[in-house]
Amino acid sequence: MLRSPMQRTLLACNCVHSVLRSSHCRHLSHNPPDSPSAAYHRAVSDGKIKMDATQWAMISHFDSLCERLTAYEKKTRFPYSLLKNPAPHGIYLHGPVGCGKTILMDMFYDTCTYPKKCRTHFHSFMRNIHEGLHVLRTSSPRSRPFDPIPAVAKTVSSESKLLCFDEFQVTDIADAMILKRLFENLFASGVVMVATSNRKPDDLYKDGLQRVNFIPFIGLLKKQCLILDMVSHIDYRHEMLMAEGGSGPSYYFVYGETPNLDEKLANWFTKLAEEDGHHGPPVSITMNVYARLVELPCTGNRVMMSSFADLCNKPLGAADYLSLASHFHTVILTQVPELGLSHRTSLKRFTQLIDVLYDKKVRLVIGAHLPIRSLIRHEQRSSSELLEQNRQLIDDLNLSTNNHAAENISLFSSAEDIFASERTVSRLEEMCSSHYWCSAGPSRINPS
């Protein structure tokens, strides 16, 4: 059915609104400090974090951005004032896993009084962008050329003028090909971006397919954001684990090391569900996610238990995991196997699941077949295997299947997989610690 430009835009708006509605603000207290540096000092004084010279050097830049945003907001309250007052530069903070990037950005977000702000995981944001673009393309007359990116960007900028992205990473060619045009439109509309990443800008989408078309975005990113390198050799998530005794995270259990582990995890579920007000046997529910039904056979109020196979071997994605994280504050995951790159689809789903649960501060209990640092096996796949795996993508893009193309796919896939798996292991260590459980919600019981 053909629709008018206004109808098409409204359809796209509905898709993009969902990611902005799912944005969240995590305050350190009910009376947040008036600056990121004040929030940092309070967290140190309360014993929540340790004073770190590198983090302290970074926090001053967030203080400065808060001040510039406040001044900018006052100057742009009147019509057409955006034309005379360009938006301040944002911040792109990159560094190794566990060095505190997300904590610093959250302190900035929680204390910044700039209106129309949104904090979200970059992957979730881009998924909703693509949904909005798809709606506009499929509802547009084929005989009439139509670029949907400006319309989607306009929707985003009307909802939020400050975008804060956790885990800015580019692993999908579909993202890589639209980022420059998308963010050109966002920046032109006065949007300010703050992002954390494990990658410096020049390494984004490194060795990816058609990277020559992505490189202009790197220049745009450097022009619009202050690039901060959080040089650190400390993984605070791993240090947190060592502080708890070093024998393993408190809420991560290994089959073979813990007798009758499935029974123990079932007891965890029963006690946690009872503490949440559920009494009786587990309840099977069906969640509707974008017209797709997701079966959850073991729930009790806002506590759920599921096997790895049910959440990561089935065709679920970020939207499903976001729905779970919005509904449940505690997840018990059983029968997690050894994960290798040869089972890349399940591994990617597991990585997405952990990213979403971490971002939403969901408490996690895991029963796995290997210790946490041995859970993900790095294995080098041959170029021919990767070429076959990406055959459909290569055909869609009309790329050559010569040895050089296969080599580039191999380099890119292996590097990105290793980056993602290192982040997942680091986050698992934090999420299964007692410290995380206290910060994610009151540690109400300690089942035996």
pLDDT in tens, 159-189: 999 999 988 988 778 888 899 999 999 999 9
Tell me the pLDDT band of 396, cut-offs 50, 70 and 90.
Answer: very low
- Is the pLDDT reported for residue 26 higher than 60? no
- Is the pLDDT reported for residue 287 higher than 90? no
How far is it, in rounded angstroms, from Cα 158 to Cα 172? 26
Tell me the pLDDT band of 228, cut-offs 50, 70 and 90.
Answer: very high
Q: What is the mean pLDDT of residues 5-25?
A: 52
386 to 171, 177, 392, 411: CA distances (angstroms):
15, 21, 11, 10
CB 38 within 8 A of CB 63: no
Please give the residue range of the domain that contains residue 88. Answer: 5-229
Beta bridge partners, 229, equal 94
Residues 212 and 244 in one domain: no
Which pLDDT does position 284 carry in this prediction? 94
Q: Point out the domain boundary residue: 183, 198, 229.
A: 229
Which pLDDT does position 316 carry in this prediction? 87
Which pLDDT does position 318 carry in this prediction? 79
- Is the pLDDT reported for residue 308 higher than 80? yes
Q: Point out the domain boundary residue: 229, 246, 275.
A: 229
Top pLDDT among 413 and 136 is at 136
Residues 242 and 303 in one domain: yes
Which pLDDT does position 447 carry in this prediction? 43
Task: Give the tokens for residue 319.
Answer: 């939207």
- Is the pLDDT reported for residue 1 higher than 50? no
How far is it, in rounded angstroms, from Cα 328 to Cα 309? 19
Beta-carbon contacts of 335 under 8 Å, excluding residues fewer than 6 positions away, are 255, 262, 307, 308, 309, 367, 369
How far is it, in rounded angstroms, from Cα 408 to Cα 404? 6
Residues 332 and 199 in one domain: no
Residue 100 burial class via C-beta count within 10 angstroms: exposed 0-12, middle 13-18, buried 19 and up: buried
How far is it, in rounded angstroms, from Cα 20 to Cα 120? 8
Q: Point out the domain boundary residue: 160, 194, 229.
A: 229
- Three-state DSSP state, 252: strand
Q: What is the mean pLDDT of residues 222-244?
A: 76
- Is the pLDDT reported for residue 98 higher than 50? yes
Tell me the CATH number at 46: 3.40.50.300
Task: Give the tokens for residue 73.
Answer: 């907001």
Which pLDDT does position 369 carry in this prediction? 93
- Is the pLDDT reported for residue 71 higher than 80? yes
Give per-residue pLDDT as tens, 312-342. Answer: 999 888 778 888 988 899 999 999 999 886 7
The sign of the dihedral angle between the CA atoms of 321, 275, 281, 261 is: positive
Tell whether 447 is covered by a domain. Answer: no
Tell whether 446 is covered by a domain. Answer: no
Which pLDDT does position 397 carry in this prediction? 42
Low-confidence winner among 191-200, 206-215, 269-278 (lowest mean pLDDT) = 206-215
Tell whether 10 is covered by a domain. Answer: yes
Tell me the CATH number at 251: 3.40.50
Q: What is the mean pLDDT of residues 69-80?
A: 79
How far is it, in rounded angstroms, from Cα 250 to Cα 8? 50
Residues 166 and 98 in one domain: yes
How far is it, in rounded angstroms, from Cα 381 to Cα 9? 43
Top pLDDT among 355 and 83 is at 355
Residues 317 and 374 in one domain: yes
Residues 194 and 262 in one domain: no
CA atoms within 13 A on the CB side of 120: 24
Residues 146 and 195 in one domain: yes
Task: Give the tokens for residue 427.
Answer: 């986050």
Residues 217 and 291 in one domain: no
Instruction: Tell me what percent of the residues of the chain surpass a pLDDT of 70.
Output: 74
Residues 212 and 291 in one domain: no
Tell whether 448 is covered by a domain. Answer: no
CB 346 within 8 A of CB 313: yes
How far is it, in rounded angstroms, from Cα 119 to Cα 163? 6
Radius of gyration of the chain (CA): 23
- Is the pLDDT reported for residue 310 higher than 90? yes
Phi and psi torsions of 399, nearest 5°: -90, 155
Q: What is the mean pLDDT of residues 184-207?
A: 92
Instruction: Tell me what percent of the residues of the chain surpass a pLDDT of 90.
Output: 38
One-letter amino acid at 70 equals T
Which pLDDT does position 32 carry in this prediction? 60
- Is the pLDDT reported for residue 89 higher than 70? yes
- Is the pLDDT reported for residue 65 higher than 90? yes
Q: What is the full DSSP assignment across 193-249?
A: EEEEESS-GGGTTTT-TTGGGTHHHHHHHHHHEEEEE------HHHHHHHHTTSS--
Which pLDDT does position 227 carry in this prediction? 96
Tell whether 220 is covered by a domain. Answer: yes
Over the chain, what is the mean pLDDT? 80
Task: Give the tokens for residue 153.
Answer: 């960007």
Reference 338, options 372, 375, 381; nearest CA is 375
- Three-state DSSP state, 295: strand
Which pLDDT does position 99 carry in this prediction? 85
Look at the chain and report how many structural domains it folds into.
2
- Is the pLDDT reported for residue 350 higher than 90? yes
- Three-state DSSP state, 58: helix
Residues 189 and 291 in one domain: no
Q: DSSP letter at 343?
A: G
Residues 307 and 207 in one domain: no
How far is it, in rounded angstroms, from Cα 298 to Cα 289? 18
Tell whether 241 is covered by a domain. Answer: yes
Residues 221 and 244 in one domain: no
- Is the pLDDT reported for residue 409 higher than 50? no
